[in-house]
Structure formats: structure tokens, C-alpha cells
Structure 1
Amino acid sequence: MAAQLPRSGPGDSPSLLRRSLQGLPGKLIAAAEFLYTPEPDTAQLAALGLTPEDLGDKSSFDVFPENYASVEVFNAMRTQWRTDMGVPVGLDYSALPSVMRLFGVPAVQRRKVFDDVRVMEHAAICLMREQQ
């Protein structure tokens, strides 16, 4: 039997997103954090007695094959942030269908990719707000 989502009213979607984030393995969130976490500069590292070599190679991030299209689409959307007074509030979803088509996401996978992008969007927003 398929699970049914509760009917929601205006403004209920953030709580639905929070519920959807619970219990996730974290691979999509880790990908968003990788893409939106700036690397510390050498002065910051030196203050901790570290060098860039101590951190290892942080130039790439492994993505599971089932998440690759979602991460690729999310990364391509990085220029589509909507902001309010300089604070990111979300992605401009009107660009999403075009980006999915450009990256060849099959129509049957677009709902999953959209849901994955929303998870990464939420993680990126939290991270960007912490950095301000």
C-alpha cells in the first residue's frame, strides 16, 4: 500500500521538508555541504597549527551512481538562488525543468531528482546562513 502525504495548506511545506529530511542517510546533504563549504585559508589553518596538506585532498567528492544526476542538476542550479536582503531563501525552480532536460534526466526520474535537489537546497541554505 502506498503512503499518502497529508493534505497541506499554505506555509506547510517547510514542515513537510523537515519530515522528509529525517532518517536520510546524509549522502545528498554531504554533497551540498561539500559544494557550499569554503575551504579554510592558510591563515585559519596556521592558527590551528595545521597546513593544507594536513586536511588531505578536498578537491573532489564521491557521489553514489543513484545520486549523480541529482547532484549534477543541483550544482548546475548554483546560479539560480533567490535571496531576500542578501539571505538565500531558495532556488528559482522555474529554471529546474530546463536544467534537467539539458542534463538528460529521463522524465520518470525527474520527481526523484526534484526531491533530492530540495534536500540539498535545504542543507545549502542552512550552511550559507551559518556562514553569514
Structure 2
Amino acid sequence: MGLTADDFDDVIIDVWPDVWPAFDVFQSASTQWRVGMSGATGLDYNCLPWLMRTQGIDDEATALHDIRVMERTALKIMHKGA
């Protein structure tokens, strides 16, 4: 995706315990970005139901909401300066 070491901050971010399961799914989907000519456009949601099952997610609607917040934030970071 064209990211370099300069694209990453040395900031440690705490993940709230109630969001941790969704964060695990988000990390598991780290290789599942849809990419076009302008770079990443979003996660491939087709893999999320399977990942949620493997992570034991009970409340898929809440997890999806949390993942979409993380996805939007990641896209903003990836496309900064573009």
C-alpha cells in the first residue's frame, strides 16, 4: 500500500476491554483490504463472518460497528497527504 516507517507514529494506543474482541478481528483482517488505483478503499467484509466465528464474537452487530470505526480511522491515516 506504499506505507513507510514514517507513516507510523510511536504512540501507544490503549484498547478498551469491551472493544478488544472486535480489535482482534480487525487485526486478523489486516491482509483483507480492498485496494484500487487510489490505494486501500476498505476491508473485504466477506471474511468478517468467518473471522468473528473463529474469535468467538457473540454480538456481531456491535463488533461490526467497532470494526468500521477502526476501518475509517485506518483509511484516514493511510490516505493522509494524498
The TM-score range, normalised by the shorter chain, is: 0.7 to 0.9
Q: Which runs of 5+ in 2 are unaligned?
A: 1-6
- Residues 16-57 of structure 1, C-alpha deviations (whole Å, 9 max, x = no match): xxxxxxxxxxxxxxxxxxxxx524xxxxxxxxxxxxxxx7xx
State the percentage of identical aligned residues. 34
Q: Which stretches in structure 1 are left out of the alignment for 5+ residues?
A: 1-36, 40-54
- CA–CA distance in structure 1, aligned partners of residues 78 and 35 of structure 2: 11
* 2:42 matched residue in structure 1: 90
Q: Are 2:54 and 1:99 equivalent residues in the alignment?
A: no
| Cα RMSD (Å) | 1.8
Cross-structure match for 1:110: 60
Task: State the distance in 2 between where 1:87 and 1:75 align.
Answer: 19
Shift of 1:86: 5.1
Q: Quick one: distance in 2 between partners of 1:76 and 1:98?
A: 11
Q: Higher helix fraction: Structure 1 or Structure 2?
A: 1
1:120 aligns with 2:70: yes
Superposition TM-score, scaled by structure 1 size = 0.52
Q: CA deviation at 1:103?
A: 0.6
Partner in structure 2 of residue 38 of structure 1: 8
Q: 1:68 aligns with which of 17, 20, 23?
A: 20
Give the 5 Å matches for 1:47-62.
Answer: 61-62=13-14
TM norm structure 2? 0.81
Greater fraction strand: 2
- Number of residue pairs matched by the alignment: 76
Structure with bigger gyration radius: 1
